[in-house]
Structure 1
């Protein structure tokens, strides 16, 4: 069975702590047996050298004989206390070497290596020192080293060290277990929440969110930022899904209307209800033109979304281009009794851009005014330079657009209801295309209420 991330993290931290505690115990044991015992043996070797020198002096003082050893109950202590003042010798009942048991492991051999006094069974690795008097070796002093701590003070010291090591190791293990538990439960909780929310999001639940801390971004840690990013991603996907559904509904609606009209016209012609005359042909052609315009607009928007809408930019005179567009709409404006006020500068307006796309942009803006402005109203087209920009204003008279709907005018298929409704025609794609064209020329397009009572669209394009 696969362990969860929490269980694996807890196991890893706890195993590391146990391994460290065990390594501390082993190291303490090895260090005690090697370094501590080595230290004790090194101290006893110093005592052995002192006892060897004292034995040589005692041998000479007693007529070059070892007979004096028969009178000593504790020869090692006697040799180590030689040379110490009498008053100190009385106070010093036992030397440090005697406390550590060194005198009990000393062996005195004569010149023929026969035991004279001391430890009866010296080990094969016993440390030897020759006893020399007047250049002759008269005996040997042997010291059996410490193989393990005895039951004396060093034994208690070693036991205390081991207890301390295991106590520290146990405390470290418990602390590591507590930290591992806290980390696995506290720090990984947001990760689990993100994982669960990701599963819901993948299943199509775009409303899935992760509870996050509302602290400032500079104070948020990586896990908190992960939650913020996930929520932002989920919100984007939710909006995209809503936009996709709305787009599909709008496209199907826009296509259904002209197709329904065409189907009705054709059925009427087929059944003989209506004769095939010039008026019928004009009606059919108008519906086909509506379908063709809608498909062209959708195609242009799809190309603009992927950055594939072609532009052939060159130096041009925007003043001349605006005059041509206004002239092309002269007949339509007169047909709706709309007055056109054209305010263009006398000097040229140089611009670097695609003439056909810019003509499409401003034609869509005038088309929008012609379509939605009440008959007998007015349309104003003005252009001028402001700083390093060319500003073009297209204004019309009533009806206007509510202020809360102005930011949505450039959304696809959006039309202000009810004043600028589908009854006036159009699919609501013209302004979206205008926005894409303006952005492709590093410009902007904005909407605001017009002093004339209608809509004011301002296009700002950078000078070359």
Structure 2
């Protein structure tokens, strides 16, 4: 449990809440103490003012301080009257019931010259508060009182109130921490529900269950993680399916020529066929077919590993395309196909001449095999927008729209009729895609305006500019 992210997140949230609660408790406590001191100071100041007014009235009535010695309880009564005025200023009920009982404050009365008149005797005035008793604008005496805080400490009611507030503050802090613990646990478990869901799905994905998907929740980071996981699972499922199909197709492609070879050899061994030129030519054809398949597979594996060698140099794509068309002109004519060309002169490209020749040969071979006669094939090349575009389009038959994205998959044929009858391995377009990507371009398939299939290749303008800039430099190897 301690190593789980739920526990760690719980501790992090709880620790944060505890720190905040303690800080708030300390701030509330400081604010209360400061406000309580101000309250005590104002209360004692008001008490001294009330007492000074009462004593001034008695002084004015008696014509001096003699009234304090005439009545022994006069000083205590003055103290009670001053407290009564403060505590019951807004209470009619207390006026009717009389002043509340209570001990007098520790206040000392001095005359105008500083002589003691009443209250506790003090030695020196250090730390004491002086308040004048004025009559007709002149001081006739002085009231000495302890600091307000000292008065509060000796006031039982104030002490009890202060203690209750202190207990209430820390009880609130404790309850806040307890509430924070509950909320932290709930938040930790709630926030990690999507994470645990993705973790379980990841374990199933690692076990080979590529059909697993997770529910995408809110559009936050966890939601994006769930969408990325679903895309990963979809890609793995697709790759697993393609790998199975590839193995099945490769085994089928290998089995067919091997079966023919075995039949031919057995026929020769049994004397059913004579080892003449036709028999040897048939064996050579099947061996060549095997060699082409193995070579294509090896080339694709090297392309996947990034180990194919490319000698990049500036070249004339227009002349390269023209040579590729000239090489297949006779074969197209014998197949009943018209070969058209629309090539803009002076198209320069930085690339591997041998690989680009292989690219054009594969594309033209693909159109030759899968275009019905009479028909026509058109190769067009030129500058379009921000780059160079080369397109090979043919007449019927076409390819279904749902099959277009898979034309560049390995060993994939657009329809079952386009199979071993035409002698292809289904790797030509996959090799073409590898060559185009190595040259920084993009290849795509779409319906042709002639009624068949159009293969379109786009190279960015930067490739053309690089070819122009590097025309005076030696070739470079790209591995």
When normalised by structure 1's length, the TM-score is 0.71
- Within 5 Å, which residues of 2 pair with 1:55-94? 67-68=69-70, 70-72=72-74, 74=76, 77=79
Q: CA deviation at 1:74?
A: 0.8
Structure 2 Cα separation of the partners of residues 131 and 390 of structure 1: 105
2:340 to 340, 343, 346: 343
Structure 1 Cα separation of the partners of residues 330 and 412 of structure 2: 28
Q: CA deviation at 1:414?
A: 0.6
Indicate if the aligned counterparts of 2:342 and 2:378 stay in contact, CA closer than 8 A.
Answer: no
Question: What are the Cα deviations for residues 390-445 of structure 1, in whole angstroms up to 9, with x where unaligned?
Answer: 54434255x55444433322221011333211232221011222233344363534
1:412 to 391, 410, 417: 410
Question: How many residue pairs are counted as aligned between the two chains?
Answer: 436
Other-structure match for 1:380: 377
Structure 2 Cα separation of the partners of residues 32 and 401 of structure 1: 84
Q: CA deviation at 1:189?
A: 1.9
- Within 5 Å, which residues of 2 pair with 1:227-266? 227-266=226-265
Question: What are the Cα deviations for residues 312-346 of structure 1, in whole angstroms up to 9, with x where unaligned?
Answer: 3423152x434433443355446xx4124233359
> Structure 1 residues 281, 158: CA separation in 2 closer, same or farther (over 3 Å shift)?
same
Structure 1 Cα separation of the partners of residues 326 and 78 of structure 2: 131
Aligned to 1:342, the other structure's residue is in SS state strand
Structure 1 Cα separation of the partners of residues 41 and 72 of structure 2: 28
Worse-matched range after superposition: 438-447 or 240-249:
438-447
Other-structure match for 1:189: 193
Other-structure match for 2:104: 103
Q: CA deviation at 1:252?
A: 2.9
> Structure 1 residues 69, 106: CA separation in 2 closer, same or farther (over 3 Å shift)?
farther
> Structure 1 residues 338, 349: CA separation in 2 closer, same or farther (over 3 Å shift)?
farther
Indicate if the aligned counterparts of 2:443 and 2:458 stay in contact, CA closer than 8 A.
Answer: yes
Other-structure match for 2:456: 459
Q: CA deviation at 1:286?
A: 2.1
Indicate if the aligned counterparts of 2:55 and 2:78 stay in contact, CA closer than 8 A.
Answer: no
Structure 2 Cα separation of the partners of residues 280 and 189 of structure 1: 70
Q: CA deviation at 1:365?
A: 2.5
Other-structure match for 1:2: 2
Q: Which runs of 5+ in 1 are unaligned?
A: 133-137
2:349 to 347, 352, 363: 352
Indicate if the aligned counterparts of 1:385 and 1:391 stay in contact, CA closer than 8 A.
Answer: yes
Question: What are the Cα deviations for residues 146-172 of structure 1, in whole angstroms up to 9, with x where unaligned?
Answer: 3637344x4675467457646754674
Structure 2 Cα separation of the partners of residues 169 and 307 of structure 1: 64
> Structure 1 residues 383, 212: CA separation in 2 closer, same or farther (over 3 Å shift)?
closer
Tell me if 1:148 matches 2:148.
Answer: no
Structure 2 Cα separation of the partners of residues 368 and 26 of structure 1: 83
